[in-house]
Amino acid sequence: MLSIEKYQEEFIEYLNNYSIVKEPKGLYSPIAYILNLGGKRLRPVLTLLTADIFNGDYKKALSAALSIEVFHNFSLVHDDIMDDAPLRRGQKTVHEKWNINTGILSGDAMLIMAYQLFENYEPETFQALAKLFGKTALEVCEGQQYDVDFETRNDVSIPEYLKMIEFKTAVLLGAAMQMGAIIANALEKDQDRIYEFGKNLGIAFQLQDDYLDAFGDPKTFGKQVGGDIIENKKTYLYLKALEFATESEKVYLLKLFNEKPIDNLYKIEQVKTLFLTTGSAEAIQKEIKNYTNKAFSVLESLNISEDKKDLLKAFGNQLMNRTI
């Protein structure tokens, strides 16, 4: 087993050797740009780590890891267009640096490139990876549509919200881990269990991202703090604030989320204050721990050593204590 940092290094070396910039440059330069903006490389690391966990050769999982990373970044390019987001990882988003049409087309190309990377595997493995990838990619699109729909609804429930983040974010973490298990020829029941571990960890990860979007440090978070508030996203923080609010607080919160503000900074500060005073900020921290513990409970039934279970727990705890 390697350290998380070593898996990251191995993946970045593989990424750097993957030929991206070619003609026409107007299509491929934005792809190279978004893939080289950095980021946590969480998903590819999970693919490599899981291959090792099940006694496979993590180097054989590098193509699948890159596929996951290319797909993830494709979804970010299109999400940023839909959200009109100015920043990604502290730098200009693709559509801001180039234009919307370039962002759409380069994103489309990335989706195709993600599929092509499975061609490096034998037919049986290719089929298993492609089947999982197709299911996951469609779920991510469904999750994004739920997210868009929720912006104009005032009756979003917490179960609906949790389903949305499961599809939009968590299933990709689950798939990243299951791909590593597939490449390592793990038992099918262990493939399913490691998927569940990754999915539950992914829900906790997205809840943490929601918290950081409101309360993170702009210097470390890498995205526009308060972006979800500006976009009127019905996050767990917002829904819990509505649930816990007094009648006057509820009226004010709904007003803030149904009007176009003159000053976004004022709106962000007012909403954050409500998240704190209602107890919503505390509630989301409890839910993050809840889903992290759900992920850890899955590990008990996995056919791996206790040392490897401890490694996965340490990784999960590190993820939940992040500031970026």
The model's pLDDT over 69-123, given as tens digits with 9 standing for 90+, comes to: 999 999 999 999 998 888 888 899 999 999 999 999 999 999 999 999 999 999 9
pLDDT tens, position by position, 145-196 = 998 898 888 899 999 999 999 999 999 999 999 999 999 999 999 999 999 9
Q: How confident is the model at residue 47 (pLDDT cuts 50, 70, 90)?
A: very high
Using omega within 30 degrees of 0 as the cis cutoff, is the peptide bond preceding 261 cis?
no
Look at 218 and 76; give whichever has higher pLDDT: 76
- Angle CA(203)–CA(146)–CA(32) in degrees, nearest 5? 70
**CA distance linking residue 216 with residue 71, whole number of Å:** 26
Q: Which two tokens stand for residue 125?
A: 């493995």
In this model, does residue 219 exceed pLDDT 70?
no
**CA distance linking residue 170 with residue 164, whole number of Å:** 9
